[in-house]
Amino acid sequence: MRLLILSASAGAGHTRAAQALEAAAREIPGVEAEHWDVLAHVDRLYRKAYAAGYLAMVDRAPELWGAFYRASDRKPPRGLKEKLVHAFDRIEFAGFRDAVQMFRPDAVVATHFLPAQVFAPARRRGRARFRFGLVVTDYDVHAFWVQPGADLTCVATEELRAVLVDRGVPSDRVVATGIPILPAFSVPNDRRMIRAALGIRDEKPAILVMGGGSGVGSMLDAVAAARDAGNVHVLAVAGRNPALERRLRTLAPPAGGTLTAFGFVSNVHELMAAADLAVTKSGGLTTSECLASGLPMVVRDPIPGQEERNCDYVLEAGAGIRTHGAASLRYKLGALLADPARLARMKAAARGAARPRAAREILARLLGTGAPA
């Protein structure tokens, strides 16, 4: 069975979800899977405008992004506007569709709505001869994800399933599976060994601070607030931001604790296993990974739109708190660390809301391979 996994490099979450599906597919005998970035098959200017435009907006003008997100969260366009969009897609994605035809997949699964839009006309005419699945990567369903032509749409929760059905997607084509994350998050970790390897040789709380993509100043404020929250260890992840990493390495550690700065890491599951709480943005994948790790979230400055709605889910589940600015973050961290019973309840709530085997379930549903292992 040939499986094509599609993502779009407009935000890291879509790619990470696709990588999780690819890892799960490798565990299924007889399945040959490939992961493609759909934007790698289009014109460079289009790719830059689509991906870089989104990233620039959420980073530099988040309120503008939030306004666009809310304004566009309505029924997809119909009539002349829809025809013009599809006509443009037919031209821009012609090479991509040819590549898919040459691959001859039995099934296609996308972690971004763009491929669903590209395939929609062919599917309506019965020319797409593969089973098509769509995986929503947030704890929300925007109108862009309403794609009735998909054979299967996988969402994070039963509430989102009800929302999609209300918006016209056939009920037998929507299933609540959770958001796919890498298999490493479903495997128990030796917390004591990981902490020792990180230089943490006591039981003081460890705070994981992530979100380098949100800007140097914001991240530095968050790390400083974590450092000042008490007698703690701080694990600060700058991501693909070397300037930020250098700045983090100049910060003084907390009194009696440590401050360890990282650049891009591939062992987030280990850092989460070592930590007692995470100060982070509320992206869909980060949220799912924290829940699977039983790691309470202290959400700072969520991007208006999908991140705010992800944050709402965390708060409703009892698995996190939200802060507003550095002073709020410093105060709430101190209060939370001083209340170990509350922190324990939040850890239990996170585990209760987790779906660490979502990738396996999605593929089992799409490929008809039976119940997930």
> Looking at the structure, do residues 233 and 153 belong to the same domain, yes or no?
no
310 vs 90, higher pLDDT: 310
Bridge partners (DSSP) of residue 36 are 6
Spatial separation of the C-alpha atoms in residues 256 and 111, rounded to whole Å: 44
Q: Lowest-pLDDT range, 62-66, 102-106, 184-188, 194-198?
A: 62-66
| pLDDT for res 346 | 98
What's the CA gap between 5 and 297, in Å, rounded?
30
Domain membership flag for residue 6: yes
The answer to whether residues 203 and 323 belong to one domain is: yes
pLDDT in tens, 346-357: 999 999 999 999
- Are both 134 and 224 inside the same structural domain? no
Nearest CA to 264 out of 280, 242, 245, 240 is that of: 240
HSE (side-chain half, CA atoms, 13 Å) at 363? 28
Exposure on the CB side of residue 339, measured as CA atoms within 13 A: 11
Contact by Cβ (8 Å): 156, 292: no
* Residue 142 CB contacts under 8 Å (≥ 6 apart), including other chains: 69, 72, 73, 306
Asked if 168 and 290 sit in the same domain, the reply is no
Torsional sign, CA 35, 38, 40, 41? positive
Which CATH number is 55's domain given? Answer: 3.40.50.2000
Overall average pLDDT of the 166-183 stretch: 96
Query: Same structural domain for residues 63 and 13?
Result: yes
Q: Is the separation of the CB atoms in 253 and 230 below 8 Å?
A: no
In a domain, 100, yes or no: yes
Q: Judge if 157 and 30 occupy the same domain.
A: yes
Residues 194 and 161 in one domain: no
Mean pLDDT of the chain: 89
Number of domains in the chain: 2
pTM above 0.85, yes or no: yes
Asked whether residue 177 falls in the same domain as residue 202, the answer is: no
177 and 225 housed in the same domain = no
Q: Percent of the chain beyond pLDDT 70?
A: 91
CB 247 within 8 A of CB 259: no
Digit-coded pLDDT (tens) for 229-260: 888 999 999 988 888 999 999 999 998 899 99
The answer to the question of residue 372 being in a domain is no
- On the 0-12 / 13-18 / 19+ scale of CB atoms within 10 A, 201 is exposed
Residues 25 and 171 in one domain: yes
268 lies in a domain?
Answer: yes
Q: Are residues 218 and 162 in the same domain?
A: no
Residue 22 within a domain: yes
Q: Has residue 238 been placed in a domain?
A: yes
Q: Is residue 262 part of a domain?
A: yes
**pLDDT score recorded for residue 119:** 85
Residue 373 lies in a domain: no
Task: Give the residue numbers spanning the domain of 312.
Answer: 185-353
156 and 301 fall within a common domain: no
65-85 burial, b at 16+ Cβ within 10 Å, e below that, comes to bbeebeeeeeebeeeeeeeee
Q: How many CA atoms lie within 13 A of 246 on its CB side?
A: 3
